[in-house]
Structure 1
């Protein structure tokens, strides 16, 4: 397995390279590393004492005019065996990064996802992570290497469940699913053939959220999803008294990257 930790709110613009926690987890900076913010002059005041104009000047250089940085993604490539050999685990790494983030910027929010791959799959861990977590540049390179184009994804009749692009096409037309409706369908698709109980859907899709639905609300979400699937709605089966199951038909095509889309870590 591999982990990517995404921050959905930016940390303070000024960097604090001498923070003991940063030294503990980040290690020494390689000699060829390029800082993401403009270096301070030798006579500059500490970041906390700088006027607002100086702090604004330390923004990330790659942010285009008219936009603002709202966070970042850090892809971490390491499988469970390598983590164990290093005397740690994926969970401990995630918690350490979250702790460090909270120390550096208490106002930051974090979200972590685990990237899954078939056992024995080759390739660099970090490349597997980027593909599984739908990094645009990694997906573009993969499609270019495979000689794929948008036309290759077209399907005149039937259902395309495009996990890599987070969309569903019905006879070539977008189904117009909401984010949560797609996540619900994806959860079932990635567990094809299994009957998923309602409580498992709640734990898998609403874990950590402020408003957690009850099992009756899950039925409402599924009913809305099925209505948008129109005459293909029977790909989501109701198993009476238990839950729901995805049934693949001959006219259903599933598109995804070389590794499965991750579930919430």
Structure 2
């Protein structure tokens, strides 16, 4: 009913405009900007990440597993810092922030090489090369980055994977 009232009002104000409306309800005292409340209601990955309780940082060198530290842009594998290139980390971060969703190669290319001209933008198979390098650096944890044949890639969290978001997690639509 509220959405319909908004559409009628918009139609009166701008008859030629297309209208799209989303209404998000939040509990009293939810705090934050209106846009943050809407993003959380729509389950945007970065908004959800900001609401999760951050893992305790008493010991950054946990004995085993993978720690993807989004806020510090680093990966720890079995307690040791992994030497990821900028693009490798961007790729992993992009997948982590969209956990469980299969991302097509074309989306990865357009998102990770934003602003590149057609001559500068890599082909879709370049993503395969980056994923192969990323997996080799993940070692025995390589299967957290899954291939969905004919479609793209997906991040699947395991019990031995910790994601640290911090307070400055970037929006998944901007890097």
The TM-score with structure 1 as length reference comes to: 0.44
| Higher radius of gyration, 1 or 2 | 1
Any stretches of 5+ residues in structure 2 without a counterpart?
A: 1-24, 35-45, 47-53
**Residue aligning to 1:164:** 71
Paired residues, number? 126
The TM-score with structure 2 as length reference comes to: 0.65
How much does 1:251 deviate?
A: 0.3
How much does 1:260 deviate?
A: 3.6
Partner of 1:191: helix, strand, or coil?
coil
**Residue aligning to 1:236:** 145
Q: Deviations over 1:17-36 (max 9, x none)?
A: xxxxxxxxxxxxxxxxxxxx
Partner of 2:147: helix, strand, or coil?
strand
- Judged with a 3 Å threshold, the aligned counterparts in structure 2 of structure 1 residues 122 and 155 are, in CA distance, closer, same or farther, namely farther
Q: Deviations over 1:225-264 (max 9, x none)?
A: 1111111110000111100000100000000124642242
Q: Residues of 1 paired with 2:32 and 2:88: CA distance? A: 32
Any stretches of 5+ residues in structure 1 without a counterpart?
A: 1-118, 126-131, 133-145
Q: Residues of 1 paired with 2:154 and 2:32: CA distance? A: 32
Q: Deviations over 1:143-186 (max 9, x none)?
A: xxx9x65x343321100000010000000011110111000000
1:250 maps onto 2:159 in alignment: yes
Q: Deviations over 1:177-213 (max 9, x none)?
A: 0111000000000000000000010111111024211
Check conservation: 1:164, 1:256, Cα contact below 8 A. yes
Q: Deviations over 1:102-151 (max 9, x none)?
A: xxxxxxxxxxxxxxxxx9563479xxxxxx8xxxxxxxxxxxxx9x65x3
**Residue aligning to 1:264:** 174
- Judged with a 3 Å threshold, the aligned counterparts in structure 2 of structure 1 residues 261 and 228 are, in CA distance, closer, same or farther, namely same
Partner of 2:157: helix, strand, or coil?
coil
Check conservation: 1:190, 1:260, Cα contact below 8 A. no
